[in-house]
Amino acid sequence: MKFKIKFILCFIIFLFVIFFLTSCSTKDLRKEIDLKDIVSDAELQKIAETQNNNVLFFGFDLRSSPQEDARQYLPFLEYLTKTTGYKFELYLTTKNNQTIEALGKDDIQFTAFGAGSYIKAHKKYGVIPLVRGLNKEGKAEYQSVIFVAADSPIQKIEDLYDKRFAFGSITSTQGHIIPRIILNKHGITLEDLSAHIFTGSHRNCADAVLSGNFDAGGMQDMMGKEFANEGLIRIIYTSKYYPSSGIVANKDVSPEILAKVTQALLDFQPQGRDSAGLYQWGKTEMPNGFIRAQDEDYAELRKWSQKFELLDESGKEEK
């Protein structure tokens, strides 16, 4: 009888212990998964954006050499980092087509692009135009020049029939699209040239002509005028004005980041408050800062790009 009572008491105590442990466990578990503490979808997205955007990468169309372009952009990225609170780093590619692909695939979040690169990237990846550069006169436009060697016998555009012509990058506005427009308006197509090449940059284009390998070339106005003033080349034609280069963004960059970066760009004063530390910013295609850009700005150049079949995937840049 005593054994039975002891057994019952032990059993009751066992049940009490089990209940106590279960209650604690359940209580603790309930506390851990309290529905009030669950992170919302919006919060998860914000956390993900914070983690993924600790560094924002910035690319650019090649204009001079990668080294010289990098010297100009690095201090500018320091301005963006300081102003926006986001960390910016420079992303280097050797060709403009590679920059378009990197931007489209979100390897780069922001890029300094000419209109030609933007038009192609917008069609393929839906990239977003943010701002366009202001020239020395405070206008968001630029020109291209057709040039020859200083001692060349060529005097006018019509003289380029059956001659060798050097372009910059195949995606370049000033180094390719606008020179093509000039040639086209003077009745000269690529088939009317004895040879043509895409050199990859404005400086390479100048070198191709100065070396004597090509008879003429097309390049951006500021660098062309600089070389002409030094007596290295002679300009035979200057185009009308077209929408200038600007800065664009990958379509998946968050609206909050886009807003902060766009405002920082619009507030940029390279000739005044923000000039300290900049490297030869006056030689860039946005020497006086930026104005807001929109896709409609590029309507005319988009029509010419379509006419020249530059928006399909068949064209490959020659080396």
Same-domain check for residues 74 and 130: yes
- For residues 220 and 160, membership in a common domain is answered with yes
Residues 6+ away with beta carbon under 8 Å from 243: 115, 132, 140, 141, 293, 297, 298, 301
Pick from 217, 240, 263: which residue ends a domain? 240
Examine the domain organization and report whether 74 and 133 are in the same domain: yes
Q: Give a yes or no: residue 233 inside a domain.
A: yes
pLDDT tens per residue, range 289-312: 999 999 999 999 999 999 999 987
Per-residue model confidence as pLDDT tens digits over 261-294: 999 999 999 999 999 999 999 988 899 999 999 9
Cα–Cα distance measured from residue 190 to residue 315, given in angstroms and rounded to the nearest whole number: 14
Same domain, 136 and 248: yes
- Give the model confidence (pLDDT) of 1-15 as tens digits: 444 444 444 545 554
Counting Cα atoms < 13 Å in the Cβ hemisphere of 280 gives: 10
Q: Residues near 207 by Cβ (< 8 Å), separated by ≥ 6?
A: 199
For residues 96-124, average pLDDT: 92
Within-domain flag for 87: yes
* Same-domain pairing of 91 and 221: no
For residue 171, the model assigns a pLDDT of: 87
Q: Look at residue 108 and tell me if it is in a domain.
A: yes
Q: Phi-psi region for residue 126, left (φ > 0), alpha (ψ -120 to 50) or beta?
A: left
Q: Which domain holds residue 217?
A: 144-240
- 276 and 224 together in one domain: no
Q: Is a pLDDT exceeding 60 seen at residue 29?
A: no
Give 118-173 pLDDT, tens digit per residue: 999 999 999 999 999 999 999 999 999 999 999 999 999 999 999 999 999 898 99
Do 217 and 236 lie in one domain? The reply is yes
